């Protein structure tokens, strides 16, 4: 029985029409049935509207095309035409700022995308681009609606095209709260950030059944494309959480660090953490011995406002840290080597992770602070055959192409090509600072001495003593803390305890920086 059948008679006046409208709206808001809602909750999942309520400020949601229904026929579709067609679209606010959102309703057609469903998403994406406001997708759908055939596939094409057009223009955030399989997975991959919830969300191009049929491998949905897999192994997910409430709360936090669009700066706040606060802890936190590890997270905590930061891709490529934070109330992006993981070397995954983060910061006017303690690129056959050259070049390209304020700080060692790539002055860093513990060189002293003084070491009666002497000599000549500063490649050698003050003043000076790139359609970055 349709809703119209439930209305006793043709409305005779405006009041009757309004009453009819309320009946229709009530059905659209309620969804298909209580049983469907209970089934959704039984899976540990919220409904589309419950998710939107968590994301947006209370009472701020304005829905678009609530009464839209599909017009497909065949396979029984003509007898089942629910309002919303399985996706809720509209806009609201997060901390008072406009945000557009669409949310799949798994209770209707399993959240599968058909023509009307896709058209609603296209419209809200166009509105977000036109309004210059972030777009958040709350994904919980079974892919293309098979009964609608190629029309459903064309709907995805329209989404992908808009994802690409919006890239670097407005922040796009994908929140995976259920299954996402096949071509549908490419939309989240095109967005700026991907959030996932453990156990209930999965992403893969081909499911476990297809994998088994083709390769003979047996694997579960979570084992193939669960939150932990994508957060730790593939790097597809930037964040993974245990429940939807925490996940959506972190989406709100991320939005508070981002501008509305590429024409605005991120929101600033008044910080009670003094910008000139000295951090004596830093003098003991970083060992002078370059071979001793330490946790770079603790350095970041000392430098940023109230020790608070949001790490991106926390569990993937852990040898490099990418984080959003504030210094003196201003949002900054931090890229830092992590000596606790692989000694902080750059490898394929670390290069990709940092490159994408640098590009995101540059797109959305977020100044970049780079903290260096890098022994070089990771050597090995796997790395070379895996394309470390082109992957490392992605990071180099991202830095060279960035026009936002860029400040680099060399804490300890910075060797070889990795020193150049990690935003050295030679590739355009606006300001470069170093601690007195810095060592900048083509390679470590031991390796350099073995190359330069190979003959003397080989001919010496005591080769080890000669090697030690040559190492000491090389360090004294080319690796002392002021060598780069004497040549203008470091702007200043600073007291570690003053780092926060120096960074805050530098950011304030660079706030009005303007830089133009050469006129071109677009670059051709390494792939």
Element (H, E) at 493: strand 492-493
Alpha-carbon distance of 242 to 297, in angstroms, equals: 23
Q: Is 417 considered catalytic here?
A: yes
Sign of CA dihedral 257, 259, 265, 267: negative
Give per-residue burial for 443-468: e unless 16+ CB within 10 Å, then b. ebbebbbeeebeeebeeeeeeeebbe
| Helices H / strands E in the chain, number of each | 22, 17
Catalytic residue chosen out of the listed positions 227, 414, 418, 448? 418
**CA-closest candidate to residue 102, choices 90, 111, 92:** 90
Task: Record the tokens describing residue 281, joined without a space.
Answer: 């802890």
Lookup result for tokens 């606060």? 277
Q: Is 90 considered catalytic here?
A: no
CA distances from 95 to 171, 251, 256, 382 (A): 16, 12, 7, 47
**CA-closest candidate to residue 57, choices 91, 89, 94:** 94
Cβ count within 10 A of residue 442: 14
Lookup result for tokens 């009307």? 116
Alpha-carbon distance of 336 to 154, in angstroms, equals: 42
Residue 288 near residue 205 (C-beta atoms within 8 A):
no
Burial class (CB in 10 A: 0-12, 13-18, 19+), 98: middle
Task: Record the tokens describing residue 14, joined without a space.
Answer: 């405006």
Reduced to 3 states, what is the DSSP secondary structure of residue 514? coil
Reduced to 3 states, what is the DSSP secondary structure of residue 244? helix
Alpha-carbon distance of 490 to 367, in angstroms, equals: 19
Q: Is 183 considered catalytic here?
A: yes
Catalytic residue chosen out of the listed positions 110, 168, 182, 207? 182
Reduced to 3 states, what is the DSSP secondary structure of residue 122? helix
**For residue 196, what are the β-bridge partners?**
176, 240
Alpha-carbon distance of 178 to 43, in angstroms, equals: 10
CA distances from 308 to 253, 311, 332 (A): 12, 10, 12
Catalytic residue chosen out of the listed positions 417, 460, 468, 497? 417
Residue 402 near residue 368 (C-beta atoms within 8 A):
yes
Residue 490 near residue 410 (C-beta atoms within 8 A):
yes
Catalytic residue chosen out of the listed positions 183, 386, 387, 447? 183
Task: Record the tokens describing residue 62, joined without a space.
Answer: 């304005």
Element (H, E) at 179: strand 179-181
So which residues are the catalytic ones?
A: 182-183, 417-418
């Amino acid at each position: 029985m349709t809703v119209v059948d439930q209305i006793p008679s043709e409305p005779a006046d405006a009041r009757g029409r309004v009453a009819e409208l309320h009946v229709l709206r009530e059905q659209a808001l309620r969804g298909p049935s209580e049983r469907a809602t209970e089934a959704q909750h039984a899976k540990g999942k919220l409904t589309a509207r419950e998710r939107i309520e968590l994301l947006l400020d209370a009472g701020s949601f304005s829905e678009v095309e609530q009464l839209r229904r599909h017009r497909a026929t065949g396979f029984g579709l003509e007898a089942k035409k629910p309002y919303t067609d399985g996706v809720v679209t509209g806009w609201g606010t997060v901390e008072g700022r406009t945000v557009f959102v669409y949310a799949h309703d798994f209770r209707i057609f399993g959240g599968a995308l058909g023509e009307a469903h896709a058209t609603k998403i296209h419209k809200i994406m166009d509105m977000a681009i036109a309004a210059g406001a972030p777009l958040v997708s709350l994904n919980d759908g079974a892919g293309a609606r098979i009964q609608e055939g190629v029309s459903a596939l064309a709907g995805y094409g329209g989404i992908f095209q808009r994802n690409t057009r919006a890239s670097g223009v407005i922040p796009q955030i994908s929140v995976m709260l259920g299954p996402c399989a096949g071509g549908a997975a490419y939309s989240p991959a095109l967005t700026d950030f991907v959030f996932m919830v453990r156990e209930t969300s999965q992403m893969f191009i081909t499911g476990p059944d297809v994998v088994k049929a083709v390769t003979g491998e047996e694997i579960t949905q979570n084992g193939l494309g669960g939150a932990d897999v994508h957060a730790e192994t593939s790097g597809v997910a930037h964040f993974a959480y245990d429940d939807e409430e925490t996940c959506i709360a972190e989406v709100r936090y991320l939005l508070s660090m981002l501008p509305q669009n590429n024409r605005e700066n991120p929101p600033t706040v008044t910080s009670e953490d003094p910008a000139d606060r000295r951090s004596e802890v830093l003098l003991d936190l970083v060992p002078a011995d370059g071979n001793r590890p330490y946790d770079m997270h603790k350095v970041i905590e000392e430098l940023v406002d109230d020790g608070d930061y949001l790490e991106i891709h926390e569990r993937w490529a852990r040898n490099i840290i990418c984080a959003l934070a504030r210094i003196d109330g201003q949002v900054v992006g931090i890229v830092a080597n992590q000596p606790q993981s692989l000694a902080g070397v750059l490898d394929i995954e670390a290069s990709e992770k940092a490159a994408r983060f640098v590009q995101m910061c540059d797109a959305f006017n977020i100044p970049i602070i780079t903290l260096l303690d890098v022994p070089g690129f990771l050597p090995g056959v796997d790395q070379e055959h895996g394309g470390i050259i082109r992957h490392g070049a992605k990071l180099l390209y991202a830095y060279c192409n960035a026009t936002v304020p860029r400040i680099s700080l060399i804490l300890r060692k910075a060797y070889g090509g990795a020193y150049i790539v990690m935003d050295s002055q030679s590739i355009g860093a606006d300001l470069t600072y170093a601690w007195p513990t810095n060592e900048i060189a083509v390679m470590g002293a031991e390796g350099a001495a073995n190359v330069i003084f190979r003959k003397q070491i080989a001919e010496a009666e005591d080769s080890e003593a000669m090697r030690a002497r040559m190492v000491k000599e090389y360090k004294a000549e080319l690796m002392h803390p002021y060598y780069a500063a004497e040549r203008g490649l470091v702007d200043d050698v600073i007291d570690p305890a003053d780092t926060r003050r120096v960074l805050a003043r530098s950011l304030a000076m660079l706030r009005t920086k303007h830089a133009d790139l050469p006129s071109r359609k677009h670059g051709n970055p390494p792939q």
